[in-house]
Amino acid sequence: MNWLDILVQGVLLGGLYALFAAGLSLVFGIMRLVNLAHGDLIIFAAFAILLAVSTLGLNPFLAALLAAPLMFALGWALQRFVLNRVLGKDILPPLLVTFGLSVALQNGLLEAFSADTRRIPAGPLESASLDLGIVTVGWMPLLTFLSAVLVILALNRIFYATALGRAFRATSDDPVTASLMGIDPKGIFAIATGLAMVVVTVAALYLGMRANFDPSIGPARLIYAFEAVIIGGLGSLWGTLAGGIIIGVAQSLGAAINPEWQILAGHIAFLVVLLIRPRGLFPRAVD
Amino acid sequence: MQPTVTTRTRAGTITAVLALILIAVGLALPAFASRSLIQDLFFILTMLTLAQLWNLLAGYGGLVSVGQQAFVGIGAYAMFAGVILWGIDPVLAIPLGGLAALLLAIPTAFFAFRLAGAYFAIGTWVIAEVTRLLIAQWKALGGGTGTSLPREATSDIIGVEAIRTLFDVREAAARDILAYWLALALAVLTIAAIYALLRNRLGLALAAVRDNAEAANSVGVDARRIRWAVFLIAAAMTGLVGALIYVQTARISPDAAFSVTDWTAYVIFIVVIGGIGRIEGPILGVLVFYALQTLLADYGAWYLLTLGLIAIAVMLFAPRGLWGLISDRTGLQLFPVQRRLTGITMKGGKT
């Protein structure tokens, strides 16, 4: 077997996990909110894109462009009207609310779309590949990885080069002091969650085009995303990408040894990193 | 009169008497109840026990675990291993479930306690997933598809013959009655043990650690040791419940035994809806949960959708659950753990 090939496929798979994780990392970094419904929101967005593709006959990328502002509004409203009310020193209430949301979303989708597995049709792109000489990579995984890098670049740009990003960082470090400086933390939180939902839409687009999905697979995607965030370290978006790649490579190595070990290998990599570095590899913020 | 510290209240005494009567009725119930009622009560009692244990962890210990299904699953599989591999009677194999869960809890705690807050929740969940994936590799116990208890093992479970002659029922019904009694015993034991725990020094220390670990440390409470103790106790008990549940169902698969929905989501909803951090909470919660399940049984996914939305509404509008609402209005405490000073006479003023 070709180890280089396995490594490259693993890194590219890591791009998908980084996409799952980027929105989570953003919200977690800014408001320490653990959104247990994140995986189900990705599946929700995937169904939204699928709906636009199948009813309006749109190209998937165009459909995602259409879904993104709607998802932003949804995230904004979710934060403004629900999550802001339970954020506080105690981590339990937001955890439980998002857990309730996760179960409600899963079963709402089940009721609306049935348990059938779906896929967003992407035409010839689905199987197109690119020969790089030593290894051959699929266009789809490559595009996913590049999108992940692009999303993280953009988020970092927002974080470190805009007034909004300054407000994000200030609120992340100390919401009370930030509010003394005229920042409204609750408004900032709402924008952050809206932004996270835009990232979720991108993640949903690639998840839906690359693999089959059904309403029940959200929590498994959430676990990968969380592992990537924790491995990367709180508040570090590049760390999240690194975390995604570690999970992706571990899974791809595990699968090469025995297909049944794919998922297990990813989890074990997570536990090993945790054992050595409990705060992740590149923690920016102090929890 | 000497001032004394007491936790005793009149409501508490009445509850104790009522509880004893309820237990007596519960024990005698198989004599006149239908088989389906016994099965429903088995479900309620096992869910109640799981909910009390999660409440002990999260509500009193501040340990929000999303991975309790690891202990249900490993407990159930240890019981199956005892029966299938070593030919032990299923009922006698139940303690193996507790033991296996305890053994799993040690490395789990070692990992998870390095993590704080939300990280802890995810860490426990990942460990449950790892356990599920590893168990699915265990070919002797059916691998990923699972297996059933062999016919010869279920046909002569200890005590079933006696129940058959006592109540004049068929073998399957007698098995249900046996499982129901064990569930009742486990539920009563768990609630009594948690209540006793909360009333003694350890309970006070536990509440102190939950409310502020640093402050508790500074007055000499060893937060680490207490968290370990609570986590291990809850895990072992959860393992026993898991083993018991699968003695009754007699069929196991990794996906069912390690189901995050069945053994953690439902349990969390029961605790949250009933009222977290109170013994009364899970009791009320399990009754609401069962009522909803019965009412919405024909509506499939709508049931869970409703449950999720109710949990959100409760967290938003009544964060301490339904029992919290009742208790705030009436001051009622069925299981009083609050320490109050009594017998004080004030001089020179109205009392």
Q: Are residues A54 and A107 in the same domain?
A: yes
Q: Are residues A98 and A168 in the same domain?
A: yes
Highest mean pLDDT among A101-105, A174-178, B346-350: A101-105
Q: Which residues of B touch A251 (CB under 8 A)?
A: none
Q: How much is the CA Rg of chain B, to the nearest whole Å?
A: 21
Highest mean pLDDT among B80-94, B95-109, B245-259: B95-109
Q: Are residues A257 and A196 in the same domain?
A: no
Q: Which of B116, B123, B311 sits opposite A96 (nearest CB)?
A: B311
Which of B122, B125, B314 should we substitute to test contact with A (largest number of A Cβ atoms within 10 Å)?
B122
**Domain end point (choices A190, A216, A242):** A216
Average pLDDT of B147-159?
81
A103 touches chain B (CB under 8 A): yes
Question: Residue B348's pLDDT is what?
Answer: 60
Q: Is the pTM of this model over 0.90?
A: no
Residue B349 confidence (pLDDT) above 70 = no
More confident residue, B84 or B346: B84
More confident residue, A169 or B351: A169
**Residue A138: band (very low, low, confident or very high) from pLDDT cuts 50, 70, 90:** confident
Separation between Cα atoms, residue B243 and residue B151, nearest integer Å: 18
| Percent of chain A with pLDDT strictly greater than 90 | 50
More confident residue, A283 or A229: A229
Residue B116 confidence (pLDDT) above 80 = no
Q: Are residues A193 and A285 in the same domain?
A: no
- A91: closest CA among A34, A36, A39? A34
Domain that holds residue A87: 34-115+137-216
User: What DSSP designation does A126 have?
Assistant: G
Angle between helices B201-211 and B171-199 (to 10 degrees): 80
Q: Are residues A175 and A287 in the same domain?
A: no
Question: Residue B10's pLDDT is what?
Answer: 77
Average pLDDT of B96-120?
90
A285 touches chain B (CB under 8 A): no
Q: Is residue A3 part of a domain?
A: no
- A40: closest CA among A109, A120, A96, A86? A109
Question: Residue A123's pLDDT is what?
Answer: 79
Residues facing residue A129 across a β-bridge: A138
Residue B344 confidence (pLDDT) above 70 = no
Residue A16 confidence (pLDDT) above 70 = yes
Residues facing residue B252 across a β-bridge: B147
Q: Are residues A147 and A274 in the same domain?
A: no
Q: Are residues A99 and A238 in the same domain?
A: no
User: Are A110 and B303 spatial neighbours (Cβ–Cβ below 8 Å)?
Assistant: no
Question: Residue B174's pLDDT is what?
Answer: 87
> Domain B4-342 falls in which CATH fold?
ABC transporter involved in vitamin B12 uptake, BtuC (1.10.3470)
User: Are B55 and B271 spatial neighbours (Cβ–Cβ below 8 Å)?
Assistant: yes
Question: Residue B351's pLDDT is what?
Answer: 47
Question: Residue A10's pLDDT is what?
Answer: 92
Average model confidence (pLDDT) across chain A: 89
B296 touches chain A (CB under 8 A): no
Q: Is residue A145 part of a domain?
A: yes
Q: Is residue A1 part of a domain?
A: no
Separation between Cα atoms, residue A41 and residue A189, nearest integer Å: 17
Residues facing residue B242 across a β-bridge: none
More confident residue, B139 or B339: B139
**Cα of A124 to nearest chain B Cα, Å:** 35
Domain regions of chain B by residue span: 4-342
Question: Which stretch of A87-91, A100-104, A116-120 has the lowest confidence by average pLDDT?
Answer: A87-91
- A242: closest CA among A22, A41, A83? A22
Residue A286 confidence (pLDDT) above 60 = no
Q: Are residues A246 and A196 in the same domain?
A: no
Q: What is the dihedral of CA A110, A113, A114, A118, to 10 degrees?
A: -110
Residue B339 confidence (pLDDT) above 50 = yes
More confident residue, A213 or B27: A213
B309 touches chain A (CB under 8 A): yes
CA A59 distance to own-chain centroid: 22
Separation between Cα atoms, residue B229 and residue A175, nearest integer Å: 35
**Domain end point (choices A216, A233, A253):** A216
Question: Residue A65's pLDDT is what?
Answer: 93
| Residues B295-321: tens digit of each pLDDT | 887 887 888 888 889 989 998 888 888
More confident residue, A47 or A34: A47
Question: Which stretch of A182-186, B149-153, B245-249 has the lowest confidence by average pLDDT?
Answer: B149-153
Q: Is residue A11 part of a domain?
A: no
B308 phi and psi angles, rounded to 5 deg: -60, -45
* Cβ within 8 Å of A, B 47-66: 58, 64, 66
Question: Residue A281's pLDDT is what?
Answer: 84
Instruction: Provide the b/e sequence for A1-14 (b: ≥16 CB within 10 Å).
Output: eeeeebbbbbbbbb
**Cα of A6 to nearest chain B Cα, Å:** 22
- B56: closest CA among B283, B243, B278, B241? B278
Q: Strand A129-131 and strand A136-138: pairing? A: antiparallel
User: What DSSP designation does B139 have?
Assistant: G
A26 in helix, strand or coil? helix
Q: Which residues of B touch A32 (CB under 8 A)?
A: 117-118
Question: Which stretch of A214-218, B37-41, B282-286, B326-330 has the lowest confidence by average pLDDT?
Answer: B326-330
A192 phi and psi angles, rounded to 5 deg: -60, -45
Which of A81, A95, A101, A258 should we substitute to test contact with B (largest number of B Cβ atoms within 10 Å)?
A95
- Is A59 exposed, middle or buried, given 0-12, 13-18 or 19+ CB atoms closer than 10 A? middle
The helix (H) or strand (E) run that includes residue B147 is strand B147-148
**Residue B141: band (very low, low, confident or very high) from pLDDT cuts 50, 70, 90:** confident
| Residues B212-259: tens digit of each pLDDT | 878 888 888 888 888 899 999 999 999 999 999 999 998 999 999 998
Provide the number of structural domains found in chain A: 2
Which residues, in sequence order, are CB contacts of B61 under 8 Å at separation 6+?
A: B206, B209, B210, B226, B227, B230, B231, B234
Q: Are residues A168 and A277 in the same domain?
A: no
Separation between Cα atoms, residue A23 and residue A202, nearest integer Å: 10
Separation between Cα atoms, residue A189 and residue A192, nearest integer Å: 5
Angle between helices A38-56 and A218-232 (to 10 degrees): 130
Q: Minimal Cα distance from A95: which residue of B?
A: B118
| Residues B123-132: tens digit of each pLDDT | 899 999 999 9
Q: Are residues A287 and A150 in the same domain?
A: no
Which whole-number Å values give the CA distances from A137 to A127, A142, A159, A231, in the listed order?
A: 10, 7, 32, 26
Residue B14 confidence (pLDDT) above 90 = no
More confident residue, B345 or A205: A205
Residue B278 confidence (pLDDT) above 80 = yes
Q: Which amino acid is at B341?
A: L
Kindly determine whether residue B114 and residue A108, on different chains, have CB atoms separated by under 8 Å.
no
Q: Which residues of B touch A264 (CB under 8 A)?
A: 130, 133-134
**Domain end point (choices A167, A198, A216):** A216
Q: Are residues A147 and A238 in the same domain?
A: no
Average pLDDT of A251-278?
89
Question: Residue A106's pLDDT is what?
Answer: 92
Question: Residue B115's pLDDT is what?
Answer: 82
Residue A184 confidence (pLDDT) above 80 = yes
A280 phi and psi angles, rounded to 5 deg: 90, 175
Which residues, in sequence order, are CB contacts of A20 under 8 Å at separation 6+?
A: A38, A39, A42, A203, A207, A221, A222, A224, A225, A228, A244
Q: Which residues of B touch A105 (CB under 8 A)?
A: 308
Q: Are residues A91 and A71 in the same domain?
A: yes
User: Are A284 and A235 spatial neighbours (Cβ–Cβ below 8 Å)?
Assistant: yes
Q: Which residues of B touch A86 (CB under 8 A)?
A: 315-316, 319
